[in-house]
Amino acid sequence: MASLPHNLNPRPGEDDKTKEELLWELAALRRRLAELEALDDERRRLKQTLRKAYDELEQLIEERTLELVRANEQLRQEIDERRRAEEELQRLKDYLENVIDNTVDAIGIVDRQGRFILWNRRAAEIYGYRFEELTGKTAAELYADPQALERMLTRLRREGVVREYEIAMKKKDGSIVPMDISISLLKENGRTIGSVCVARDLSERKKNELELKRARDELSRYSRDLERQVRERTRAITSILRYTPAVVYLKDRHSRYKLVNPRFEELLGCKNEEIQGKADHEVFPRELVDQFFRHDLRVLREGQPLQVEEQMQLPDGRHTYLSVKFPIYNEEGAPEGLCGISTDITELKKAQERLRLLSGSIMAGQEKERTAIARELHDELGQILTALRMDAVWLGERLRGQDAQAAGRALAMCDLIDKTIDEVRGLAIRLRPGMLDDFGLIDALDWYTKDFAKRTGITCKFSRSNLIEVEDLVATAAYRITQEALTNVARHSFATQVKISLEVQHDLLTLTVRDNGRGFNPQDLEDSHCLGLAGMRERAALVGGSLELHSRPGKGTRVRFRLPLNGRRAAA
């Protein structure tokens, strides 16, 4: 209980108060106490109210703080977005400026009065004006024809845009050039505030169009001329195919016929349409098919022309054709077929055979004549020279004691007669060596090579292996070829060594004469129509053999005679 107020404590002299006064004071004291208790309750209520108000204020402050934080965050985001938008806008602006400044077209922007507010670098290059030089000028001053400008502006006002309008414009230097113009109006709130113009110089395009037109005209003339040439050549080729006596045909890569000429049709008695798509085995006998297919396959495989002789049986007998076959290529360079041209050389072959027989007869006659001359030289002239020598020796013996000078002349005559006898004997042997008839080819070549080395000073080596005796015609041909080859070595080669080899392997006789001389280009020799080489080849051909000549400048020369014996052996 609260203590009493100090003014209620008994003071001196108050002990004599009456009971009523004490009761009254007690009542007053109680009232005061009640007031104090009421005041204390009010204070508690106020304190609770204040606490509640404080809590509400703190909650409100917290809410306001959160709202402020959210507002600040939103504001920061808006600021970032605005900054990004400004940066993007700046990048877009830089990009547009870069595009406008580096585009291949001239771009200009003007206001309502036609004054320039933008002028890109390409425009300055085309028109020759820098942007600063356009001050005080309007776009209308750049147009060469005011009427054409008015027509374009009328269309612009009507449609709001003009695209790819060709019009003449003036450059700074006064030149007039055709330009391709595209203009669009710039509007703001529905009101026109200016226009943007994109221009492209058509001078180069006009020049290119003119060049293209000239090229087209030239191409047209060339095409007409080419068509004319094709028609003329087609007529010429058609005439050749129709009237040539040769057989002409085209085949695909599987040797099926694609085209034959009239001569082919005449020989086979069929039409071109009937033989197209057929192979050789459907047209010719088996023995012909094999040789045709073999030759066709070689041409297609090697991709090179081929010249061969082919036989064909016709109603009037067997004919020989000289066939030239060559590949036909497609656009990729691969062979897609072949063409063959066959010429009938039957009469030529017969004439060649008659000529060969005649040549053989002439050479046989020459050999006989050589033999007769050699015999006459050896027998008749040799005996006469021997008799003269005997007389000269007798005369020298008789004059030895009487006239020494005359005796000396007689002895000198003997020496001269001896040399003449040797020359006659050598000449007779070279004309027709007796040992070729008496001892055969090997001994004759052995003697001749030694005699050649003795006469010329050129080292000569003769080797042989697996040899057999051969008939006189072959022996004579081999001997004469060796003789002519060595004669050429002595005359032209400047060689120091010659090797002659004679061998037989697998029924093939091979005679080789090789020197280490200066050599030559065989084509030059062919062009000179050398009779010696022609004679050697003729002799080789007469006995059924072949002659090869190989030579290079500085590499010597090799002559090789080959002959298939085929039963030509006389005796092993």
The string of pLDDT tens digits covering residues 464-495 is 887 777 777 788 888 888 888 888 898 888 88
Alpha helix stretches (DSSP H) within 319-457: 346-376, 382-399, 404-431, 434-438, 441-456
Q: Which of 210, 216, 201, 312 is nearest to 264 (CA)?
A: 312
Using the structure block, give the residue that is written with the tokens 């060049």: 211
Question: Are 461 and 520 in the same domain?
Answer: yes
Question: Are 295 and 196 in the same domain?
Answer: no
Higher pLDDT, 262 or 352: 262
Of 104-118, 349-363, 495-509, the range with the lowest mean pLDDT is: 349-363
Q: Is residue 88 part of a domain?
A: no
Q: Would you state the pLDDT for residue 428?
A: 61
Higher pLDDT, 95 or 432: 95
In total, how many domains does the chain have? 4
Would the pLDDT of 568 be above 60? Answer: no
Higher pLDDT, 394 or 366: 394
Mean pLDDT of 17-46: 84
Q: Which helix (H) or strand (E) holds 320?
A: strand 317-329
| pLDDT tens, residue by residue, 181-204 | 888 888 888 888 888 888 888 877
Mean pLDDT of 80-109: 81
Q: Is residue 209 part of a domain?
A: no
Would the pLDDT of 560 be above 50? Answer: yes
Cα 294 to its chain centre, rounded Å, is 31
Q: Domain boundary at 201, 236, 257, which? A: 201
Give the integer Cα–Cα distance in Å for 252 and 24: 154
Q: Is residue 380 part of a domain?
A: yes
Higher pLDDT, 284 or 5: 284
Q: Would you state the pLDDT for residue 535?
A: 75
Of 64-68, 94-98, 374-378, the range with the lowest mean pLDDT is: 374-378
Whether the CB-CB separation of 223 and 248 falls below 8 Å is answered with: no
C-alpha torsion 69→74→76→77, nearest 10 = 140
Q: Would you state the pLDDT for residue 511?
A: 92
| pLDDT tens, residue by residue, 405-426 | 777 787 788 778 777 777 766 6
Question: Are 336 and 370 in the same domain?
Answer: no
| pLDDT tens, residue by residue, 193-240 | 888 888 888 877 878 888 888 888 888 888 888 888 888 888 887 777
Question: Are 309 and 382 in the same domain?
Answer: no
Q: Would you state the pLDDT for residue 515?
A: 93
**What CATH code is carried by the domain that includes residue 140?**
3.30.450.20
Q: Is residue 305 part of a domain?
A: yes
Q: Is residue 304 part of a domain?
A: yes
* 128 SS3 class: coil
Would the pLDDT of 433 be above 70? Answer: no
Question: Are 353 and 326 in the same domain?
Answer: no
Q: What are 247's strand-pairing partners?
A: 342
Q: Domain boundary at 314, 344, 374, which? A: 344
Question: Are 145 and 188 in the same domain?
Answer: yes
Mean pLDDT of 120-149: 85
Q: Which of 492, 493, 490 is nearest to 448 (CA)?
A: 490
**Tokens linked to 34:** 């009640």
Question: Are 123 and 197 in the same domain?
Answer: yes
Measured CA to CA in angstroms, residue 285 lies from 15, 288, 311, 323 at distances of 179, 6, 12, 18
Measured CA to CA in angstroms, residue 481 lies from 262, 367, 433 at distances of 47, 14, 14
Question: Are 450 and 550 in the same domain?
Answer: yes
| pLDDT tens, residue by residue, 516-557 | 988 888 777 654 445 567 778 877 887 888 889 898 888 899
Whether the CB-CB separation of 502 and 478 falls below 8 Å is answered with: yes
Binning pLDDT at 50, 70 and 90, where does residue 1 land? Answer: very low
Helix, strand, coil abundance in the chain, percent, nearest 5 = 60, 25, 20
Q: Is residue 308 part of a domain?
A: yes
pTM above the 0.75 mark? no
Question: Are 174 and 270 in the same domain?
Answer: no
Question: Domain range for residue 182?
Answer: 103-201
Q: What are 335's strand-pairing partners?
A: 329
Question: Are 392 and 417 in the same domain?
Answer: yes
Mean pLDDT of 306-329: 83
Question: Are 386 and 473 in the same domain?
Answer: no
Q: Domain boundary at 344, 362, 393, which? A: 344
**What CATH code is carried by the domain that includes residue 513?**
3.30.565.10
Would the pLDDT of 5 be above 50? Answer: no
- Cβ-count burial of 482 within 10 angstroms (0-12 exposed, 13-18 middle, 19+ buried)? buried
- Per-residue exposure over 348-380, b if at least 16 CB sit within 10 Å of its own CB, e if not: eeeeeeeeeeebbeebeeebeebbeebeebbee
Q: Is residue 51 part of a domain?
A: no
Give the integer Cα–Cα distance in Å for 417 and 410: 10
Q: Would you state the pLDDT for residue 408?
A: 78
Binning pLDDT at 50, 70 and 90, where does residue 499 land? Answer: very high
**Tokens linked to 275:** 């033989």
Question: Are 369 and 250 in the same domain?
Answer: no
Q: Would you state the pLDDT for residue 374?
A: 59
Q: Is residue 223 part of a domain?
A: no
Q: Which of 383, 421, 390 is nearest to 398 (CA)?
A: 390
Mean pLDDT of the chain: 80
Would the pLDDT of 100 be above 80? Answer: no
